[in-house]
Amino acid sequence: MASWTPIGSAFVFSVHQSGDPLPVGQIAIQGNGFAFRYANSWLERSTAFAVDPVNLPLSDQQYSSPKLWGGFEDGTPDNWGRRVLLATRSQHPQNEIEWLLAARGAGVGCLLYSASRSKLPSLHLPPTFEDLEQLLLATDQIQQGDSETAPELAKLLQYGSSMGGARPKVTVSYQGAEWIAKLARSDDLFNQPRAEYASLRMAHDAGIPTPVHELVEVAGRSVLLVKRFDRHDGLREHYLSAYATIHPFRMRVGDSDGPMSYLRIADVLKKVSDNATADMHDLYRRMVFNVLIGNSDDHLRNHGMLMNSPTTYRLSPAFDMLPHPGELGLQALIIGKDGRTSSIENVLSACERFGVHPEQARKILAEIHEVTKHSADYFSRANMKSKDVDILTSACSRLDSTVAQIMGRV
């Protein structure tokens, strides 16, 4: 049997806006870590942008890191994507560079990767909405550990498998654009696509920017369709997760606030946003919303930014928002002076770090609570089972009395 030498470096290309691939630089495994250098031709371009303006600013120096930078890691398959690729490829990636190459340009953002300086892998078109029934079958097989996924299904499933997250999802072409189809899992305690749809409707009504989304039925199963906000009219936008810019593994444990913090995201927005005041206020609003509905899965990868110009960013629309009834009490990120504690007092305690005055914070709390206190209506309108409505509403209403006390209603 022929031996396989793992690939240790990759050339990075950008297809931002124009769609024409331009060389950005080269990333390589270096000892027990990684090295990256921008291409001179990229640095000379007036439209050049940094892969990550915080940790990889434009420079002719060689950067080194013990781990892959988040700006690249955003484009690699996560839990679900890796399961798909392991189930559908005979040659499994052996290192992070090979995982980057395995994404084949279908991941988030506008960066592509190739083992060749001059040749990019061919970019396949995503499957269509009409393929969803077959895709559901393929995802079922992977969740069940079936290694005999039909080749034609495997090919359909691989496109967009590098989108992040642990839950099953596929990318499809729908209404002339790319959408992420978010699917149910066999061990779900309630209908997750319907619950997330209802939660996104709540967030929208609470003044939080959300992606365009639809709830559909395919072969009798619920599917949440979310329009990709890193794609516009077929063009790709550069995207960075909060995880990428904060780069947690480089932070010291004793650092103020800790790396896993909404406050850190606000600090990054101050540096890179072209409207930091609006973005920090928006970040604060979604933090309040997450606490009120019991969304404890609000980790750094569930927040991000879209590049607005080669040197500025804006907070991306909110995504992956829904109650987690079995995991209440602590957020994934620090929200205030009492750490990750999911309390109203804590969410109000550090409001000024977001540029929000205390009285304004109370007003934001009241506005969002005016929506979330009707959560049962949202879940019911999403045609959820009554027992599921009760479970989710209980999570969304658990802080109602505290809000009423703080707002002086009782």
Q: What is the DSSP string of 299-336?
A: -GGG-EEEEEETTEEEEPPP-S----GGG-SB-SSB-B
The string of pLDDT tens digits covering residues 96-149 is 898 888 876 778 899 999 999 988 877 777 889 999 998 888 888 877 776 566
Indicate whether 134 and 91 sit together in one domain: no
Amino acid 108 reads V
Is it the case that residue 3 has pLDDT exceeding 70?
no
120 within a domain of the structure (yes/no): no
Percent of the chain topping pLDDT 90: 68
Name which of 236, 41, 5, 237 is nearest 115 in CA terms.
5
Q: Which residues pair with 313 in a beta bridge?
A: 273, 307
Same structural domain, 288 and 215: no
Phi-psi region of 307 (alpha: psi -120 to 50; beta: other; left: phi over 0): beta
In a domain, 350, yes or no: yes
Which CB contacts under 8 angstroms, 24+ apart, belong to 373-381? 373/397, 373/400, 375/198, 375/202, 375/293, 378/198, 378/199, 378/201, 378/202, 379/194, 379/195, 379/198, 381/198, 381/201
Q: Which residue among 114, 140, 166 closes a domain?
A: 114
Tell me, yes or no, whether 205 lies in a domain: no
Provide the number of structural domains found in the chain. Answer: 3
Q: pLDDT category, 253, cuts 50, 70, 90?
A: very low
The percent of residues above 70 in pLDDT, for the chain, comes to 87
Q: What is the pLDDT of residues 86-106, one digit of tens each?
A: 766 667 777 889 888 887 677
Are both 162 and 271 inside the same structural domain?
A: no
Alpha-helical regions (H) of 149-261: 151-158, 192-205, 242-246
Coil, helix or strand at residue 184: coil
Instruction: Identify whether 366 is part of a domain.
Output: yes
Q: Is the pLDDT of residue 160 over 70?
A: no
What CA–CA distance (Å, rounded) separates 183 from 225? 9
* Residues of the domain holding 144: 129-199+210-224
The CATH code of the domain that includes 293 is: 1.10.1070.20
pLDDT for the residue numbered 151: 62
Q: Does some domain include residue 1?
A: no
Residues 191 and 291 in one domain: no
Name the DSSP class of 131: G
Query: Do residue 243 and residue 355 come from a single domain?
Result: yes
Q: How far is C-alpha 384 from the geometric centre of its chain's CA atoms?
A: 25
Position 254 scores a pLDDT of: 44
CB atoms within 10 A of CB 227: 16
Does 363 share its domain with 245?
yes
Are 289 and 353 within one domain? yes
Residues 294 and 376 in one domain: yes
pLDDT at 120: 80
Quickly state the pLDDT bin for 390 (edges 50, 70, 90).
very high
Q: Does the pLDDT value for residue 41 go beyond 90?
A: yes
Do 335 and 354 reside in the same domain of the chain? yes
Relative orientation angle of helices 192-205 and 358-372, to the nearest 10 degrees: 130
Within a domain: residue 374?
A: yes
With respect to residue 122, please indicate whether it lies within any of the assigned structural domains: no
What is the reported pLDDT for 1?
44
Whether residue 355 is contained in a domain is answered as yes
Phi and psi (nearest 5°) for 45? -80, 140
396 and 267 within one domain = yes
Predicted TM-score (pTM) of the model is 0.92
Is residue 88 within 8 Å of residue 157, measured between CB atoms?
yes
Do 254 and 330 share a domain, yes or no? yes
282 and 188 co-located in one domain: no
